[in-house]
Structure 1
Amino acid sequence: MLRILYDGEIYAIQKVGGINRYFDNIISRLPKDFQPILTSVRSRNDHHPYHPNLKLFSYKRFGFRPGRLSYWLEPYYFQSVEALNNYQVFHPTYYSLLTQQKFEKKPYPVVLTVHDMIHEIFADVIDRDGQMAEIKRRAILAADIILCVSQSTKRDLLERYSLPEERVWVTHLGTEFSPNLSDGNEFIPSRPFFIYVGGRGTYKNFNNLLIAFSKAVSQVPDIMLCVVGSPFDSTEQSKIAEMELDKHIQHFGYASDSHLAKLYRNCIAFVYPSLYEGFGIPPLEAMICQAPVIASNTSSIPEVVGDAGLLFDPTSVSDLADRLLFLLEYPAERERLIAKGLEQAQKFSWDKTVGQTLQAYQYVVG
């Protein structure tokens, strides 16, 4: 029985999110004779991954008074959990730890997953004081094996760190999405629509999508853009009003997986204008749900989309507008892209991800 300790820092940082899903899938798909050990600050009743041999050590923050004492005791609780559990591999869920210890102090092999290099590439807007990049740097240098979620992330990592390449492995991601999710009675627009999914800040390049969509609307006034994600802030609302797009944009908030699958299944295309992604799961979801993909030609995105999407230069508004109009004008091209997308999506699965991760575990324990 191989015992892997997962420091659950990401479950404190994110309620939901891509990294949460990654570890949920890794842990729940481990072989039955493995034993995952997970530390967490969530209540035991909150969501955690399932495995028949899972040992969950939960410390509820501010679980008793005074709160300051509860918070002070927290790292000591997790340090004792680590000391008392005889594990063989340490796989933290993030670059900082619930124990508040340094990675170098770990007595067992460390496997670290690096999802992207946004803290380094977009330091001026995401990590101006470099604090997060420094925490991440220490974790990277202390790891025995680094798992990168794409060849693009591996290249970005090796450009910044003089590490032996054999220590850096690529384990692509997967998705649980299925076309069958789209059979519900959730609302979708009656007019032809494009769909955008996810965060919209900084490198996500949502502003260029608005400008390109406005150009497309000027030629095809009936179309809509459906946006799934956080509410529009005041700046976005002003821009949408200024471009006179109020009647052409519909916001769906945090749509359920089944609602999102139905939107994918019925859209003209899914649009992914991001300037950078470590992997990018939404294009994979879209292809599985038979949505044509219009996506940036940068970072890992071509690696995920392959030749199954219409790629464009994300710095060129006209390039994106042309792709939107092209699919409106040539519906036969949509069908070709849908078929190619289904084929491309078969290359990625969580079972493959877990299989490659298991190889890393077995490698570090010799």
Structure 2
Amino acid sequence: MSKQRIALVVQRYGEEVNGGAELLARWLAERLTALADMHVITTCAIDYHTWDNAYPSGESNLNGVCVHRFLVDAPRKEDFAERTLALFDGERTLFDELQWMKDQGPYSTGLLDYIRESYHDYDLFIFVTYLYPPTVFGLPLVSDKAILLPMAHDEPYLRLPIIRPLFHLPQAIVYNTEPEMRLVNRIAHNEYVTQIVAGVGINVPENVSAERFRRKYGLDGPFVVYAGRVDSSKNLPELLDYFARFRDEGGLDVKLVLIGRLNLDLPDRPDIISLGFVSEQDKFDAIQAAEALLTPSLYESLSMVIMEAWLMGTPTLVNGRCEVLKSQTRRGNGGLYYYNYDEFAVALKMLLEADDLREQLGRQGRAFVMSNYNWDIVMAKYQALLDKLTMRPAQKRAGERVLHQFTEAISVGDAVSDQVFIIQRWLREMGFTSEIYAEHIRPGLEGRARPAREYRQQPAETCLIHHHAIGSDIAERVQDIGLPQILIYHNITPPRFFTPDPVMAASLNKGRRQLEEMRSRTLLALGDSGYNERELVEIGFSPTGVLPIALDENQFDVATNEALAAECDRDRPLILFVGRFAPNKRQEDLLKLLYHLRRISPRARMVLVGSIDFTEYMAWQKERAQDLGLDESAVQFTGHVSHQDMLTYYRCADVYVSMSEHEGFGKPLIESMYSGLPVIAYASSAVPDTLGDAGILFHTKDFEALAELVDVVVKDEPLRQRIIARQKERVQTFLEPQVRQRWEAYLRSVGLLPD
């Protein structure tokens, strides 16, 4: 199959061009040469203030990319700033906005004619930045083949009526950050358009040298650096004022070094040094040598220079009034932000005086960039999107789309295994070839899953699905495969619960380490509860979401075991708990509850259903029951039961009670709610997320009070019915059709499923 032919359209392009959007455009075009026959359509301009033609027109080759340059019709007029003020100060028509856009430039008749005439020559057109004529006038000419990288930030131009169609016309929009996507969605209401957050990979040369920079420019002593365009649009006047005040008011002995093309007058001060435009090597050397990088801009879609600084371990100080910069700083934890001069002065003083703070911020920033701005992950997102948008009919056959799942073990009655089976069914119904690969497969399930050792990567695979819940061999296998992953995280029980079992505790610790190592190769991280998603966010995964355990209603279409039901009726009330016997489940607390409940209701019974993985813990539970005077007529330890028997217990019990102190989701909670069984549960870990405002949550284990509560729920029929009714409403969230809608939306978000 021949490579796709793709044209990237951008207002300026070249190694001499100093601008974030244009630099990203060049990086992207050069990276895309591995996937497509890449062409760039651009102007002959370098200077974005004048748009003077600097390059010769025609075709050239730059780093493997065919560049088509076209002359700008006319340079920008000197009174353009006044025209801009007039546009926003008074009434304006659509014609006024169109004329202003042409006056802003760069407007090139030749460039627009080429886009129109070459429609059939390219599979896709990628337009970089929303704000300039090549995109505003060029994208509508090829909208059914267009991808937009808006590079948007919160500025007045974004709200111009002539701009809004750009966010509805293209086949897809690629954002650098989540805040950028939210901003555009809020203003343009274009959520229905295919959208992904791809970010950008960060490049830093290997031979960066702080000492080389100091020698070359004769700089001694500490300095902070600004790198970018030195003009008002980047809020440089405020930075210059703040820095001068900091020094004049007795601030520390430090210089401000400015790197970038100078477009404004500087104060005549020896502590403010402008180097003008420098080479990329000098820029990186300067950032390495600096105490901190300062970024005062009010408007950004993504600051790549911040990422570059973090990758070199240099902390940053940014303007907190720019939501994107503040969000970037808070997520990366690699710097500080300020809102006014006083905060600027305090933060800068801290960075200059506290070596340990600078080093810590630098380490955190570096870890964040390495995990989230990795070119392999970024390009996997682009490849999935490009494949989706240019997919030929022959490629749409089920056998041409492959998405396999990997999990450590496949078993019976296990929540993770059940979810894996459901997802496989969904994927196959969507037209994917989808197998389940596991290291351990329970006897009898060999036909539903395949041994992980049998996996062979197929050409059509672009990523895989990985379920993670414990230290596992499958996690290492997935890492060796090397494909980007959709991570579905089912939670890792804290090892402290398993201190008496060093083998299990070690496995849980291993699982935690493996989880943290997955960030750099994860396209999308999903927790099966809000609790799990919050944990993923804290570790540094992005983007994240929640994919609850799905409840298959067909699984409840099973007849009741009448003999067991009759046994359940022997004594009442009947209290039920379902869960494997493990220390975090705290079955011993259920026994204490039963002891107090039998003082109120002497015939109360309890059934504890669950596999017995820890025999010593189970033996200890039986000893506790004996100590409390609870014989086999009072409490029954069933071990693993059949699916029919488990449903019978749900249908026949009076109350479901959970004392568990750690749950990643708690599937028995939703099974109880679906079965019409009132739930009373300890509000730990994911339990509040799963129950929502249904059932009854308690926060302290006052067993005498809890026994009275259980007795009320059993005997107060109106209360009982209100609880059951609210639980029935809540459980709708977890039914298969609702969860499948979420799953399909997540697949669309990473370009694996068409709209």
TM more than 0.5: yes
Does residue 245 of the first structure (1) align with residue 630 of the second (2)?
yes
1:29-48 Cα distance to aligned partner (Å, 9 max, x none): 22242211333457898426
Does residue 7 of the first structure (1) align with residue 406 of the second (2)?
yes
1:65 is aligned to none
1:132-177 Cα distance to aligned partner (Å, 9 max, x none): 2112221244311101111111123323x1334xx11111122225
2:479 is aligned to 103
1:234 is aligned to 619
What CA distance in whole angstroms lies between the structure 2 residues aligned with 1:93 and 1:153? 13
Distance 1:141 1:49, change over 3 A: farther
2:445 is aligned to 47
What CA distance in whole angstroms lies between the structure 2 residues aligned with 1:363 and 1:104? 25
Match 1:33 to one of 419, 431, 453? 431
Distance 1:99 1:340, change over 3 A: closer
2:461 is aligned to 87
User: Which runs of structure 2 are paired with 1:209-288 in the superposition (5 Å)?
Assistant: 209-230=590-611, 233-246=618-631, 247-288=633-674
Distance 1:302 1:138, change over 3 A: same
Match 2:562 to one of 182, 185, 207? 185
2:487 is aligned to 112
2:505 is aligned to 127
Distance 1:318 1:156, change over 3 A: farther
What CA distance in whole angstroms lies between the structure 2 residues aligned with 1:185 and 1:140? 50
Larger radius of gyration: 2
What CA distance in whole angstroms lies between the structure 2 residues aligned with 1:280 and 1:271? 12
Does residue 293 of the first structure (1) align with residue 669 of the second (2)?
no
Report the alpha carbon displacement of residue 259 of structure 1 after superposing the two structures with TM: 1.8
Report the alpha carbon displacement of residue 88 of structure 1 after superposing the two structures with TM: 2.3
What CA distance in whole angstroms lies between the structure 2 residues aligned with 1:32 and 1:48? 24
Contact 1:179 1:265 in 2 (8 A): no
Match 1:205 to one of 586, 589, 593? 586
Q: Cα RMSD over matched residues?
A: 2.9
Partner amino acid, structure 1, of 2:549? L
Identify unmatched segments of 5+ residues in structure 2.
Answer: 1-397
Report the alpha carbon displacement of residue 122 of structure 1 after superposing the two structures with TM: 5.1
User: Which runs of structure 2 are paired with 1:164-179 in the superposition (5 Å)?
Assistant: 164=542, 167-177=543-553
Does residue 138 of the first structure (1) align with residue 513 of the second (2)?
no
What CA distance in whole angstroms lies between the structure 2 residues aligned with 1:43 and 1:269? 34
TM-score relative to the length of structure 2 = 0.41
What CA distance in whole angstroms lies between the structure 2 residues aligned with 1:348 and 1:15? 20
Secondary structure at the aligned position of 1:334 is classed as helix
Distance 1:141 1:48, change over 3 A: farther
Report the alpha carbon displacement of residue 345 of structure 1 after superposing the two structures with TM: 1.1
Contact 1:6 1:36 in 2 (8 A): yes
Distance 1:340 1:99, change over 3 A: closer
Secondary structure at the aligned position of 1:29 is classed as helix
TM-score relative to the length of structure 1 = 0.81
1:78-135 Cα distance to aligned partner (Å, 9 max, x none): 3xx12x45312211233745494462762x4310011124247758575358322112
Contact 2:424 2:436 in 1 (8 A): no
2:731 is aligned to 345
1:319-364 Cα distance to aligned partner (Å, 9 max, x none): 4323222223423322221222212111212333333223333332
Report the alpha carbon displacement of residue 294 of structure 1 after superposing the two structures with TM: 0.9
1:19 is aligned to 416
Aligned pair count reads 336
Contact 2:527 2:545 in 1 (8 A): yes
Contact 2:409 2:441 in 1 (8 A): no
What CA distance in whole angstroms lies between the structure 1 residues aligned with 2:743 and 2:473? 20
1:163 is aligned to 541
What CA distance in whole angstroms lies between the structure 1 residues aligned with 2:669 and 2:524? 28
What CA distance in whole angstroms lies between the structure 2 residues aligned with 1:26 and 1:49? 16
1:271-300 Cα distance to aligned partner (Å, 9 max, x none): 111112111110110111111111122222
Secondary structure at the aligned position of 1:9 is classed as strand
Distance 1:158 1:320, change over 3 A: farther
What CA distance in whole angstroms lies between the structure 2 residues aligned with 1:326 and 1:44? 42
Does residue 306 of the first structure (1) align with residue 703 of the second (2)?
no
Distance 1:85 1:119, change over 3 A: farther
Contact 1:209 1:320 in 2 (8 A): no
Range moving further from structure 2, 309-318 or 215-224: 309-318
1:245-285 Cα distance to aligned partner (Å, 9 max, x none): 11211233322222222211121111111112111110110
Secondary structure at the aligned position of 1:112 is classed as strand
Does residue 364 of the first structure (1) align with residue 750 of the second (2)?
yes
Report the alpha carbon displacement of residue 15 of structure 1 after superposing the two structures with TM: 5.5
Distance 1:263 1:342, change over 3 A: same
Partner amino acid, structure 2, of 1:155? R
Distance 1:38 1:85, change over 3 A: farther
What CA distance in whole angstroms lies between the structure 2 residues aligned with 1:86 and 1:224? 56
Contact 2:576 2:656 in 1 (8 A): yes
Larger relative contact order (Cα-Cα within 8 Å, sequence gap ≥ 6): 1
Identity %: 19
Secondary structure at the aligned position of 1:252 is classed as strand
Contact 2:408 2:440 in 1 (8 A): no
2:124 is aligned to none
Range moving further from structure 2, 124-133 or 263-272: 124-133
Contact 1:173 1:348 in 2 (8 A): yes
What CA distance in whole angstroms lies between the structure 1 residues aligned with 2:689 and 2:669? 11
Distance 1:290 1:102, change over 3 A: closer
1:69 is aligned to none
Partner amino acid, structure 2, of 1:328? V
Partner amino acid, structure 1, of 2:725? A
